[in-house]
Amino acid sequence: MTLSTQHPIPPEWHKIETVLLDMDGTLLDLHFDSHFWLEHLPKRYAELHKLDEASAKGYVIDEITQQQGTLNWYSLEYWAKHFNVDIVALKKEVQHLIGFRGDALHLLEFLRSHHAQIILATNADQQSLAIKLPATGLDQYVDKIVSSAELQIAKEETAFWQALQIKTPYNPETTLLIDDNETVLDSAKAFGIKYLYTIVQPDMRAPARTSTRYPAVGDFSHITQQS
């Protein structure tokens, strides 16, 4: 659908018992990840391996793209071995870029007063979480954190939502998911999760999306109105 100037219709909050939240690009500004993978890692890879920067950038981005949507794509350990670099150390070089999207704390504060279980359902692995949670305090706002690395199934697969349900019981009919990745939303929809929203601008320094296939949130205040 083409994004309109109208705000997305708020969910039926009184019916929602579980809220599933993505992390990167939904609660946290995706700029940190975009900058790291597309700019910082290629530059440091070239320096560490004494390569031409332009060629190194093309190689690194091509290798990453080939793993898109898989567990490898999200695994810092995989990329450390693949590129023969200390990915965690390189991430820490630019960790000052880690931060919430501008409206995320509003949503998290709102959910504190809502009687539902709040689950951070993320593709980020434990090494990523070990960097981002202390930097943001995000873990203080949610009841549980479940990573696809823990379940060994990427969120892009419908089986993830079944595995999550076994680990943390929830009713898809009374569950809300907010995620910037529409392939993830497709898999959740296939499993039967009823309330699905995406994000207009996952990376706050990149252009906003002009079209989405799911209701898109530009500011969380637009969907936190009680019906």
Based on the fold, state whether residues 87 and 25 are members of the same structural domain. Answer: no
Structure tokens at 25: 């690009």
Instruction: Establish if 2 belongs to a structural domain.
Output: no
Instruction: Compute the distance between CA of residue 26 and CA of residue 142 in angstroms, rounded to an integer.
Output: 14
Question: Is 90 exceeded by the pLDDT of residue 68?
Answer: yes
pLDDT of residue 147: 98
For residue 173, the domain's CATH number is 3.40.50.1000
Q: In total, how many domains does the chain have?
A: 2
Note the pLDDT tens digit of each residue in 77-101.
999 999 999 999 999 999 999 999 9
Q: Supply the mean pLDDT for the chain.
A: 95
Instruction: Compute the distance between CA of residue 120 and CA of residue 138 in angstroms, rounded to an integer.
Output: 9
Instruction: Establish if 54 belongs to a structural domain.
Output: yes
Note the pLDDT tens digit of each residue in 139-195.
999 999 999 999 999 999 999 999 999 999 999 999 999 999 999 999 999 999 999
Name which of 93, 109, 97, 110 is nearest 136 in CA terms.
97
Q: What is the DSSP string of 31-75?
A: HHHHHIIIIIHHHHHHHHTT--HHHHHHHHHHHHHHTTTSHHHH-
Instruction: Compute the distance between CA of residue 33 and CA of residue 79 in angstroms, rounded to an integer.
Output: 14
Q: What is the dihedral of CA 29, 146, 68, 25, to 10 degrees?
A: -10
pLDDT of residue 225: 79
Question: Is 90 exceeded by the pLDDT of residue 49?
Answer: yes
Residue numbers of the domain that contains 50:
32-96
Return the percentage of the chain with pLDDT > 90, whole number: 92
pTM beyond 0.85: yes
Which of 54, 78, 96 is the endpoint of a domain? 96
- What band does 123 get if pLDDT is binned at 50, 70 and 90? very high
Question: Is 60 exceeded by the pLDDT of residue 4?
Answer: no
pLDDT of residue 3: 56
Based on the fold, state whether residues 81 and 131 are members of the same structural domain. Answer: no
Based on the fold, state whether residues 141 and 187 are members of the same structural domain. Answer: yes
Q: What is the mean pLDDT of residues 210-218?
A: 95
Which of 96, 126, 146 is the endpoint of a domain? 96
pLDDT of residue 218: 92
Residues facing 197 on adjacent strands:
178
Instruction: Establish if 39 belongs to a structural domain.
Output: yes
* CB-based contacts of 130, cutoff 8 Å, min separation 6: none
Instruction: Establish if 227 belongs to a structural domain.
Output: no
- What band does 117 get if pLDDT is binned at 50, 70 and 90? very high
pLDDT of residue 115: 85
Question: Is 60 exceeded by the pLDDT of residue 227?
Answer: no
Residues facing 69 on adjacent strands:
none
